[in-house]
Amino acid sequence: MKAVLPALARPLVESHIPAGIEVHWFATTDEARAMVADAEIGWLDNNRPEEWARSVEAAGQLRWLSTIYAGLDALDTDLLQQRGTRVTNGSGVNAHTVAEYAVMGALVAAKRFDEVVRAADRQQWPVDAPGKQELFDSDALVIGYGTIGRLIGERLAAFGTRVTAVTRSGADGTLTPDQWQARLGSYDWVFLAAPSTDGSRHMIGANELAAMKPSAWIVNVGRGDLIDQDALVDALTRRRIGGAFLDTVTPEPLPPEHSLWRAPNAIHSMHLSGRSQTRMFMRAATLFVENLQAYVAGRPLKNEVDLAAGY
């Protein structure tokens, strides 16, 4: 049984690999593509999505693809389904740090700490605070209540924020995907932690932005294409909403000439939320070893993705 794995993971996983697995370690995309054509198992991650997709495309006999990433939007999931490739993702590996980042984004927006930092860079001493919102006694909508969304909700609740979640089932007092739009005007904060799918793309468009409170902020730690960015730039320019804290945008990196860089009250964090930690790769390696042992034994895999749904 052939497996193609990243050389970076070798010190963490090699001693835990079951007997009968023939492992090939790669350090570059070219090495991965050269090795993977007849592999049954692949952990082919690359910090460049297009290179990752190239390696996966070359793996024509892959039965199980493991990835540290939560989102699969860079991959041809139709092709993976046709091939019968099972996919497990890294959902939960960076959940705590992304949730912390999301709440930090709301705090930065509430106190406009971005402006405080710029004032300090200019050696200015403001006589008034640039941001005066509080998380306490405010209302937040969290769209996408998986692992990250739940952690966001828990952290907001600790600040005294009233949290409403959106889930597919509407269980436990949450809103369903067809209910939240009608309630948008009730919230001071709209957190996006949903995956990118055909049904979620541009879920925040011109109509949704018009329905929000004029003082409300969007915090996006999901995917950039959850928001219609042209509509967002227009709403920000016309001051129709309070602002947007954007960890994710589309495309990434955002071109220097893109109008979203210069839109009023847009705060960018360049998709750094998941990278703002030291343990993600160790957690991913532990998850991979658990799943490898389960795969060999024929047991269910953790974090297996529904390729038809996209997550």
Instruction: Write the pLDDT tens digit of every residue in 139-148.
Output: 999 999 999 9
Same domain, 153 and 236: yes
Q: What is the pLDDT of residue 188?
A: 98
Amino acid identity at 159? F
Does the structure show a pLDDT above 90 at 38? Answer: yes
260-274: average pLDDT: 97
Residue found under tokens 């070359």: 58
Whether 205 and 227 share a structural domain: yes
Q: What is the pLDDT of residue 71?
A: 85
Question: pLDDT tier at 309 (50, 70, 90 boundaries)?
Answer: confident
Q: What share of the chain is helix, strand, coil (3-state, %, to 5)?
A: 40, 15, 45
Same domain, 142 and 156: yes
83 and 99 fall within a common domain: no
Q: For 152-195, write each residue's pLDDT tens digit.
A: 999 999 999 999 999 989 988 899 999 999 999 999 999 999 99
Do both 18 and 87 map to the same domain?
yes
- The Cα 276–Cα 98 span in angstroms is 8
Which has more confidence, 197 or 117? 117
HSE-CB for 223 with a 13 A CA cutoff: 21
φ/ψ (deg, to 5) at 300: -60, 150
Task: Find the distance separating the first CA and the last CA of the chain, reported in whole Å.
Answer: 27
* Exposure b/e, 137-151, CB count within 10 A at least 16 = b: ebbbbbbbbbbbbbb
Task: Indicate if the pLDDT at residue 308 is higher than 90.
Answer: no
Whether the per-residue pLDDT at 310 is higher than 80: the answer is no
Per the structure, the count of domains in the chain is 2
For residue 310, tell me if it sits in a domain.
Answer: no
Q: Is 303 a domain residue?
A: no
Mean pLDDT, residues 206-231:
98
- Residue 282's domain comprises 2-93+278-297
In this prediction the pTM is: 0.89
